[in-house]
Chain A
Amino acid sequence: MSFFYSILFFLWFFISHAHATSDYYERLLLRPLPQSALLASFNFRSNASSTSFDRQHFRYFPRSLGQILQHAHTKELHLRFSLGRWDDENWGTRPWNGTREGGTGVELWAWVEAETNEEANSRWLTLTNALSGLFCASLNFIDSTKTIRPAMTFEHEGKYTVKSEKNLHLLHGTLPHEVVCTENLTPFLKLLPCKGKAGISSLLDGHKLFDATWQTMAIDVRPVCKQDSLDCVLEMEQTVDMVLDIERSARPRDNPIPRPPPLEDVECDTSKPYNAEDTCFPIVKDSEPAWSVTGVFGRPIKGACPLAENYHSQSSGMICINVPPEREVIPSSELKYEERSHNGGFLRCYEPSAGADFDLTLPEQQLSIKAPIEQPRMYASRSFTGNGQERGGVRAVITNNSPESVSLSYLESLPWFMKLYLHTLRTTVKPFTLSTSTEEDAHSDLIREVYYRPAVDRHRGTHLELLLNIPPLSSLTLTYDFEKAILRYTEYPPDANRGFDVAPAVIRMLSSSNSSLHGGSTYLRTTSLLLPLPTPDFSMPYNVIILTSTVMALGFGSIFNLLVRRFVAADEVPALDSNELRSKVLGQIERLKRSFRGKGAVGKED
């Protein structure tokens, strides 16, 4: 268990050591996961001293982002682009303990410096609009209905003086519907000093990144100060974490359709009774699959980024791979490279030279010891309950997997058209073991605090934040009901029948015995939900106009005629017999003919 933590601690130590001295730093960690998945965790850090940042002299820190932060008076920024789902049960704990990931879509939170709330809101709008242009994302749609001010779930990472901290406002917005794609990656890469042309960033390619089972791109900007001094730097950390399917990624790009392997290459399980010449049950391979960096990412690493300080200094290395010591790893490069081994061989790091391609190849191998996967201490899932177009419910299950009780904060940011009934909020706890389940604990202290800000139609979404306590080895079920609002005709999106995305809930574990080890808290996000709302027929306005008009005309016509017409007996009306009608019509026709002929004659005379 503690083994993985030691690796993390090791990396953390080197990162924190590195950022104290250098201005640019990058690292890639590769970790094979079960079921032929591969976690690739990219980390880039660039620093700018606060004096040069204030004077707008940018070197490693990108100018475009720096100017946005200055313009919007933003002191700390966290931006996330995510896609897919992290499989907790198979893949273990999340990279960076979930601090560098976001919910599906786009998530943004920032500490904005402002005197008043109104000023903070207007600066937040400036920030979202500017970032929307920079990252080609719909961030400008984060308006007041999608913005909340979380109270407990987020804490700033940077260092501030007590005075400046007073004027900081935390604002948080999500866009769960946003589809993250290549147009977001290109500006992300442009922010890097080596721009994807050298160093580990050369592996980042939209085709592979957005084909991943799970991926998250993160940008974190925070001021970092040396201890007890005013010598501060503004640190920007860019993180890309992705889980690739090795088999899927290794498919050649010109022939991407998966095809079954030829029969000769399939190894059959001969122990099966039906095994015969024409029937074959393929053996489930126990061995580690063969893969290489070039195969998985489609290209080799184009040498080191020479700006990274760890390129020269004695650090743990630029490219690290976390595999058991007996696993064979074959590095290849035209120029010299350095290799170091840490943690009893479980972490091998490589330091390639600049200017030459670098590749790692791992052949297929049968291993006696697998790299341990640490089980996460907590799982969470969330789903809709209920049926019908009017009401619904949400049920979130949070499982505490650890032998100690955990306190956590649970944050929901719901759209305004999902109207929460707070009085229906219920929690139940169910321990894993049968012995204690008899009491079906009515723990009174499950919910310790509730922070609730109700929605205002079309202006503000619901903000619900709970401080929860979960006893050891038990799961907590949280349920509440809500009502679905009816939207206006123009408020529906073009694909109204698809439903509306509801942002993931953010869960933060607060007390943790070894939180000091990896500096900070653990975050967990549920998946986003798709809320179906009653959808009208969109040709409705014309139908309504015609129907109401008809009814009004009917009423008007009858009343008007009643008032105006004179009613007489039927035999008093001069009868209009058919002969008379005929002669009348014929007479009219004759007159028309004559007038035509007359005109024609006049025309001829002229």
Chain B
Amino acid sequence: MSVDGGQADGNDAVTTPKQPPSESTTATWTRLLTITSFWAIAVLLGLPIWWRTTTIHRASLPLQAMNAWADGQACRPEFPLKIAVESAYISAADAQHLLRTTQHAIDDHNEFSAHHLRLLLSESTRQNNDSQAMHPPDVAGLDDTNIALTIRLVPSSNGNTPRASLHPYDSVLDVFYTTNQLPSPSSTSSPLATFIALELQNLYGEEKAILAYLLSSSSSAAGIESPALSREVAESLAKRTTRSVKSAATYHLTFSLFTPNFQPSDWAIEAALEDHMTALLQALAPISNFTVDTQVQLYATFAPSIHEPEYDEHSKSWVLRREDLSGFINAAEWPLSPSIGEGPTVNFVLYVPSESRTPLLIKENGGDSWLLPQWGGVRILNLPTGNDKAHAASKRLTKEMLEGPFFTFSNQLLSLLGVPETPSSLPLRLSTLVRVRAASLLFSASSTLGSLARLTRALPSISIPDTVAESVDLTIAHLHRACDDLREGKFQTALENSRIADREVEKAFFEPAMVGQVYFPDEHKVAVYLPLLGPVAVPLIMAAVKEVRKAIARGKKSR
């Protein structure tokens, strides 16, 4: 720092090179301090600032819990179905005994541990027999909403017994028996008990198959053993799963009338909906909400990619080839855009062919309706041709003409929603759907959690906003609740909880702030950092190296 002037004289300079005077210790110390303070600023202030301004915000996610859900370790879903037995004509003790033997018979045949039936005595039976017997121990926690099926035991003297009949619009199974078929108090089996067990197994056979398929196809349920399904059953179930629309809280149903002509341009849609859809949608209300809209579209032409219908002399009709059915909907020109708002749109298309091409049928089977997987259904309505009356009718489709198509549409809606085909009682089928929906949402939410965990691990440069962490926490909480509800047999709340979980995890996975990944190529970084850091770092490092060398030399000397 201080310039030490030379004090040697000229003679010395010729013979030996002049040595600079030795530095004062204060000068050395000042230099050392200067360099360390520069370094201290760079390291203690510069680096943290750089670190803070360039790091990406990553909220911490409960990765372990997420993976546990994805691997199926966090939850073992069970489906305990409560079945009430109502028997006004049997004493409580007998009923209890029958219950026990039937339960044994059911449990003996059940190879699917997660799905089991629990028989309970119904409220009314208990009250009937209150005076005669003590409270059966098995009726605790019995409330009406969670009863899957009521078995009503009816004594019968004629006809072959035991026999069963299922109410089509009620979840009630009537079982007719004769008194001698009741199990004697000493025996452990009886024809009636075996019969009921068998009947129940038949009723819930399809549900079991669907749930078993769901468990086997989902990785999030790896820990649960499920009965092996035959290949045909598995295939048909796979087909049904791919066919059904993604589960959602709200569905938009769009009914469209298409015609290649200008007639018919009107239809009695309100009356038809009132007659054929309202009741069905009310029955489906516990599963999802539905909005309905309708439209009339004229001058609808086929897409150029499909073959025009050909005239078939044999059946005297115009035929569409099966491979063209998937391209029948002219997506480019027919205004079938999805409805606004959350939830998928299910389209039902009623196509009235022009008079010159009536009747229009499918070549292979002569049918007139088909299902487009996950999209909707199509029905061709062939109007009668020829007479004047038919001509007048073709202007406006009456309620009677719409009866057939709407029957088709309601069936298509059920199968698009994934409602099982058996048993014949609609409430039973719908309650099966609730269980299947709850389970599938649970699994899909779990596997999305797993994907999210994998994604955050695979891409260290994406930012994770706090909202994602919040959504993940909410998802896990609701998954826990859904899993508990399933175990307790509260399927409706389980469905609601798993739906919330699924919605939250989807929201987290598709968080827009996370999708747009900040990408700075390395060249870019070099171009930005090098011009500044290069010239600054070189003197700093060189000075430090020099000082370290000197210190080493000094150390050697002193030794």
| Chain A residues within 8 Å of B, Cβ to Cβ | 55-60, 62-64, 67-68, 71, 130, 190, 193-195, 197-198, 305-307, 354, 542, 545-546, 548-550, 552-554, 556-557, 560-561, 563-564, 566-569, 571-575
Contacts and interface: CB of A to CB of B under 8 A. Distances in A.
Contacts of A60: 296
A542 B527 contact: yes
Which of B3, B18, B262, B296 has the most chain A CB within a 10 Å cutoff?
B262
B265 A549 contact: no
A413 B409 CA distance: 52
A70 B335 CA distance: 18
Contact of B265 (A55, A57, A307, A354): A307
B298 interface: yes
B534 A569 contact: no
Nearest to B27: A566
Contacts of A542: 527
A56 B340 CA distance: 12
A553 B535 contact: yes
Cβ-closest 9 pairs across A and B: A553-B535, A56-B293, A549-B531, A549-B532, A197-B299, A63-B295, A568-B20, A572-B20, A58-B295
Contacts of A67: 293, 339-340
Given A67-B339, A194-B262, A564-B35, A554 B270 contact: no
B536 A545 contact: no
B294 A57 contact: yes
B532 A561 contact: no
B6 A560 contact: no
Interface in B154-168: none
A560 B340 contact: no
B269 A557 contact: no
A572 B6 contact: yes
B31 A564 contact: yes
Nearest to B266: A59
Contacts of B269: 57
B462 to A, nearest CB: 22
Contact of A64 (B265, B333, B337): B337
B458 interface: no
A561 B298 contact: no
B17 A556 contact: no
Interface residues of B, number: 48
Contacts of B341: 71
B337 A56 contact: no
A566 B262 contact: no
B335 A546 contact: no
Nearest to B300: A195
B340 A198 contact: no
B540 interface: yes
B531 A571 contact: no
Nearest to B334: A190
B23 interface: yes
B4 interface: yes
Interface of B: 1, 3-6, 13, 17-20, 23, 27, 31, 34-35, 38, 254, 262-263, 265-266, 269-270, 291-296, 298-299, 301, 333, 335, 337, 339-341, 527-528, 531-532, 534-536, 539-540, 543
Chain B interface main SS type:
mixed
A59 B295 contact: yes
Contact of B335 (A190, A197, A305): A190
20 contacts: A62-B335, A64-B335, A195-B298, A198-B299, A307-B265, A307-B298, A545-B527, A545-B528, A545-B532, A546-B531, A550-B531, A550-B535, A553-B534, A553-B536, A554-B535, A556-B535, A563-B34, A567-B1, A572-B18, A572-B19
A86 to B, nearest CB: 32
Which of B291, B292, B294, B299 has the most chain A CB within a 10 Å cutoff?
B299
A557 B540 CA distance: 9
B3 A567 contact: yes
A57 B20 CA distance: 101
A506 B4 CA distance: 83
A63 B340 CA distance: 11
Contacts of B4: 568
Nearest to B528: A545
A501 to B, nearest CB: 29
Contact of B298 (A57, A194, A572): A194
A71 B340 contact: yes
Contacts of B335: 62-64, 190
A68 B337 CA distance: 12
A55 B536 contact: no
B40 to A, nearest CB: 14
A306 B535 contact: no
Nearest to A55: B270
Contacts of A306: 262-263
A560 B299 contact: no
A473 to B, nearest CB: 52
Nearest to A187: B335
A504 to B, nearest CB: 31
Contact of B539 (A549, A560, A573): A560
A198 B262 contact: yes
Contact of A195 (B19, B254, B299): B299
A356 B262 CA distance: 14
Contact of A549 (B23, B270, B535): B535
B288 to A, nearest CB: 18
B1 A566 contact: yes
Contact of A557 (B23, B27, B298, B535): B535
A571 B535 CA distance: 30
B500 to A, nearest CB: 24
Nearest to B257: A59
Nearest to A567: B3
Contacts of A557: 535-536, 539
A351 B4 CA distance: 113
A274 to B, nearest CB: 59
Given A59-B295, A198-B299, A571-B18, A545 B337 contact: no
A57 B256 CA distance: 10
A307 B535 contact: no
A58 B535 contact: no
A569 B528 contact: no
B34 A56 contact: no
Nearest to A575: B17
A570 B295 CA distance: 98
Given A56-B291, A560-B539, 18 more contacts: A57-B270, A59-B266, A63-B293, A67-B293, A71-B340, A194-B262, A306-B263, A545-B528, A545-B531, A552-B532, A556-B536, A557-B539, A566-B27, A569-B3, A569-B6, A569-B20, A571-B6, A571-B18
Contacts of B294: 56-58
B262 A59 contact: no
Nearest to A133: B337
Contacts of B18: 569, 571-572
Contacts of A197: 299, 301
Given A67-B340, A190-B335, A563-B34, A574 B17 contact: yes
A502 to B, nearest CB: 32
Nearest to A304: B262
Contacts of B13: 571
A190 B335 CA distance: 8
B118 to A, nearest CB: 44
B3 A568 contact: yes
